[in-house]
Structure 1
Amino acid sequence: MEKETLASLTALGHPQRLAIFRLLMRRYPDAVPAGEIGAALSLKPSTASVYLSSLLDAGLITQKRQGTSLLYAIHMTALQRVFDYLLLDCCRGRPEVCSPLSQFTASGVIPMSGEKLSVLFLCTGNSARSIFAEAILRREAGDRFEVYSAGTYPSAEINRFALDVLRQKGHDISGLRAKNAREFTGQGAPAFDFVFTVCNRAANEECPAWEGQPITAHWGMADPVKATGTDAEKSLAFQNAYGTLFNRIKAFSALPLDTLDRMSLQKAIDALSRTKAGETA
């Protein structure tokens, strides 16, 4: 196991390989096309291929073919073995010394940042998906959560089809607006317990280092703003996006947050990324 661990650490010792690894961690459990990885990190296809091969040889990622594309994902089982080795061998089984999770309570349950848990939904434009998520969680469980949304490159205004869907679903849209993620960083920014990305582009970007190490997850989904066709076809795309987020958020708000340890909670939240419109978790 020592040989495998050294190979993993060596592979992560290069800044660009580390950048790929971090991107795939943000996208987990997604499998991401090589072209998308290269584009997100401004890497030539040949260069990205070399770095991906190194991470693959080190056992840190997996590869599968889908049509003509090669898709890559974090090899979580192998990564956990590396962490276990470092903790049990190098740290002599003392998590209070080595593990960043020592910031959490002895029971492993996440601490409350305040009377309510604070949640941020991120996407690129903050004009549809993250706005939907903000509105849904606020209505479904606003008594237990402080809810925010933002965009890494926010639109000037919320998409009109998104507003139509929210009106149809009976949401109060008076306080909704497109916001820049920078509003939620720096002095005076909220301390988040959860940060969710709901679009692939936002997850591919290096987002701010959120204070307090909130639980993060990627709930990637198609962007309804990019839908084409008639107004009815575009409206259907927004309805589907709303339905998918509603199911995920309904399941999230039903989780027993006061009893789950961090690892169990992370696993449950990651699983919700596979829930679609019309499905239950």
Structure 2
Amino acid sequence: MEKLILERLTTLGHPQRMALFRLLMRRYPQAVPAGELAQALGLKASTLSVYLSALAGVDLIAKSRHGTSLHYKVQQKAAREIIDYLFLDCCRGRPQLCPTIAPIPSKGNQPMSDRKLNVIFICTGNSARSIMAEAIMRDLDKARFNSFSAGTRPTGTPHPLALATLERNGHDIANLRSKNLDEFQKVGAPQMDFIFTVCDSAANEECAIWPGRPTSGHWGIPDPAAATGNDAEKSRAFARAYKQMRARIEAFAALPDITPGTPELQNNIDEIGNMPVQGQGIDHGTF
């Protein structure tokens, strides 16, 4: 086992292989298409293939075939074995010495009912999917949640069809705006309890560390702004995205225990992220 661990560490010693592994860790438990990996990291297909083969060769990742496409996923057991090898001896009985694997402080097994929980939905442009998610969460359960949204590269204005879809479904759109993620990472910004990425492009990006170790999840939905056709067809794409986003948010809000940081909640969030969506395809991450 020690030899294998050392081989894994050697494999991860290459900057681009490490970047690939970190991207797949951010997307876990989902399997990511090879083409999306190449696009996200700016790699040629041949170069990506070499890096994927190296990671698979030491059991750090696994591949599966979906139609004609190969998808890749981190082997969490292998990642844990590396952590154990590096830190378990020094931390045995003294977890305070290794904060990276120390347990998250618990506030008990009861839901956090003493305050409202802060939830942020992140997309690339913060113009369609994340804007709709903010409005849905805000209006679905105002008593328990404060809802926000932001973009890694915001467009500056919400998409007109996103606003029309929300208004058609009874949401107040007056105060919705496209915001930069930096706004929520400044001193004095609300501390987030939950962070959900809703487009693959945003999930693939490396972001700054959030204070408080919030619970995260990826609920990717196809970009309605990428829909082609006439106005009616484009409107239907936004209606589908709204329906899919609402179903996920309703499933989250209906969970019996929403205590940030618990393994059970993380598993539930990951399961919600794997709910089937209509029109799944290439996510251009424009909005």
Normalised to the residue count of structure 2, the TM-score between the two structures is 0.86
Q: Answer yes or no: is the 8 Å Cα contact 2:221–2:245 preserved in 1.
A: no
Displacement after TM superposition at 1:135 (Å): 0.6
| Residue in structure 2 matched with residue 230 of structure 1 by the alignment | 230
Q: How far off its partner does 1:256 sit?
A: 3.4
Is the 2:214–2:261 Cα contact (8 Å) retained in structure 1? Answer: no
Q: Look up the match of 2:220.
A: 220
C-alpha distance after superposition, 1:64-99 (max 9, x if no partner)? 233443221112233344445556555336544435
Q: How far does residue 277 in structure 1 lie from its aligned partner after superposition?
A: 6.0
Counterpart CA distance in 2 for 1:110 and 1:55 is 40
Report the secondary structure of 2:105's partner residue.
coil
Relative to the length of structure 1, the TM-score reads 0.88
2: CA distance, partners of 1:29 / 1:149:
23
1:253 and 2:253 are equivalent in the alignment: yes
1:12–1:257 distance in 2 versus 1, CA, 3 Å: farther
Which secondary structure state, in structure 1, belongs to the residue aligned with residue 79 of structure 2? helix
Secondary structure of 1:177 counterpart: coil
> What secondary structure, in the 3-state scheme, does the structure 2 residue paired with 1:59 have?
coil
Partner of 2:266: 266
One-letter code aligned to 2:40: A
Q: Is the 8 A contact 2:111 2:257 kept in 1?
A: no
Give the 3 Å change call, closer, same or farther, for CA 247–84 of structure 1 in structure 2: farther
Q: How many residues align?
A: 278
Q: Distance in 1 between matches of 2:98 and 2:168?
A: 51
- Counterparts in 2 of 1:78 and 1:169: CA distance versus 1, 3 Å: same
Please state whether the residue corresponding to 1:275 is helix, strand or coil. Answer: coil
- Kept in 2: contact 1:247–1:276 (CA 8 A): no
Name the residue aligned to 2:75: 75
Contact 1:109-1:260 at 8 Å conserved across structures = no
Residue equivalent to 2:28? 28
Deviates more, 1:216-225 or 1:268-277: 268-277
Q: Which amino acid aligns with 2:205?
A: E
Q: How many Å separate the matches in 1 of 2:159 and 2:258?
A: 36
Contact 1:243 1:277 (8 Å CA) reproduced: no
**1:234 CA displacement:** 1.2
1:1-281 alignment runs, 5 A limit = 1-84=1-84, 88-89=88-89, 91-92=91-92, 94-100=94-100, 102=102, 104-106=104-106, 115-257=115-257, 262-276=262-276
SS in 1 for 2:134: helix
Q: Tell whether the 8 Å contact from 1:88 to 1:94 is kept in structure 2 after alignment.
A: no
Asked if structure 2 preserves the Cα contact closer than 8 Å seen for 1:105 and 1:111, the reply is no
Paired-residue identity, %: 54
| Deviates most, 247-256 or 38-47 | 38-47
Contact 2:194 2:260 in 1 (8 A): no
Q: How far apart are the structure 1 equivalents of 2:117 and 2:104?
A: 15
Secondary structure, aligned partner of 2:176: coil
Cα distance, 1:46 vs structure 2: 2.5
Quick one: distance in 2 between partners of 1:108 and 1:82? 30
Deviations 1:173-192 (A, max 9, x none): 11101111121122222211
Give the unaligned 5+ runs of structure 1.
none
- Give unmatched runs, 5+ long, in structure 2: 279-287
Which amino acid in structure 1 is aligned with residue 25 of structure 2?
A: M
Give the drift of 1:243. 1.0
CA RMSD of aligned residues (A): 2.6
Within 2, Cα distance between the matches of 1:204 and 1:32?
10
Distance, in Å, in 2 between the alignment partners of 1:4 and 1:268 is 32
Structure 2 CA distance, aligned partners of 1:109 and 1:81?
28
Can you list the C-alpha shifts for 1:152-211, whole angstroms capped at 9, x where unaligned?
Answer: 121232112111111111111111011111211222222111111100111111122212
* SS at 1:6 equivalent: helix
Match of 1:201, as an amino acid? S
**In 2, are the aligned partners of 1:108 and 1:261 still within 8 Å (CA)?**
no
CA distance in 2, matches of 1:167, 1:248: 19
Secondary structure in 2 matching 1:46: helix
